[in-house]
Amino acid sequence: MAQTVLHKAATRGYADHGWLKSYHTFSFAGYYNPERINFGALRVLNDDSVDGGRGFGEHPHDNMEIISIPLEGDLEHRDSMNNIATIKNGDIQVMSAGTGIYHSEYNKDTYNKVKFLQIWVFPNKRNVEPRYDQLSLQPGDRHNTLQQILSPNQEDAGVWIHQDAWFNIGDFDKGVSANYKLHKAGQGVYVFVLKGDIKVNDQLLNTRDGFGIWDTDQLNITAETDAEFLLMEVPMEF
């Protein structure tokens, strides 16, 4: 029988640093909840809003797969691998921190906020050579269907990471349904609603709710309103 966990939007951790407002689905920085450390290999899901002209100064990471998905505005990225890039809504960015990197993220627009998801996934290989990649996706490719944006395979659609993880985004009109089949045994799916209301099997989810499901080989998603959502399939043991 499928196992599930529900994280309503209002129960997330919250940090207000003035220039940065961040909701934490899982324990992060000053927010600690022993029942919300991770969902399998999914360690961090932060919903961030950065004021104009502000950002994160240079800071280190290692042995983590770090994925950024911009929702609004443009975010400038700089790192110790000499990458300078801007990511915007419709893009996905990935870093394999591996043996160690430094990077910074900055909103160069003085007037408008940047909103983005920062996601960390535990890798299946430690101390790999650090790498950076970004990709501009076609938002039309997720209309009433699931668009794969991340996988373990370099040759597949989207970016790739060092983990048996598959991410998909759907942008569904009200009433549209889809079945999702998990790629491997021992995997789970964490669903995060970007906007609107959806039903995953029999569970109703609203904007910014999170819902994890495992011990199953498939699930059904139905849009109760026009809705956009992110599916993150990860190993439950790693």
Domain shared by 81 and 164, yes or no: no
The 3-state DSSP class for residue 11 equals: helix
Domain shared by 18 and 122, yes or no: yes
In-domain check, residue 8: no
**77-81: long-range contacts (C-beta < 8 A, 24 or more apart)?**
77/103, 77/104, 77/105, 77/134, 78/103, 78/104, 78/106, 79/103, 79/104, 79/132, 80/130, 81/130, 81/131, 81/132
For residues 172 and 178, the answer to whether their CB atoms sit within 8 Å is yes
Instruction: Give pLDDT, residue 238.
Output: 87
pLDDT tens, 8-62?
A: 999 999 999 999 999 999 999 999 999 999 999 999 999 999 999 998 888 899 9
143 secondary structure, DSSP code? B
Domain shared by 100 and 167, yes or no: no
Report how many domains make up the chain: 2
Domain shared by 45 and 145, yes or no: no
Domain shared by 202 and 120, yes or no: no
In-domain check, residue 136: no
Residue 120: give its domain's CATH number. Answer: 2.60.120.10
- Domain, as residue range, for 82: 13-126
Instruction: Give pLDDT, residue 120.
Output: 98
pLDDT tier at 116, thresholds 50, 70, 90: very high
Domain shared by 114 and 23, yes or no: yes
Domain shared by 158 and 72, yes or no: no
The whole model's pTM is what?
0.97
Domain shared by 54 and 92, yes or no: yes
Instruction: Give pLDDT, residue 55.
Output: 86
3-state helix, strand, coil in the chain (%, to 5): 5, 55, 40
In-domain check, residue 29: yes
In-domain check, residue 58: yes
Tokens matching residue 140? 């039309």
Domain shared by 85 and 46, yes or no: yes
216 secondary structure, DSSP code? -
* Average pLDDT along the chain: 95
State what percent of residues in the chain have pLDDT above 70. Answer: 100
Instruction: Give pLDDT, residue 102.
Output: 85
pLDDT tens, 60-102?
A: 999 999 999 999 999 998 889 998 889 999 999 999 999 999 8
Domain shared by 23 and 112, yes or no: yes
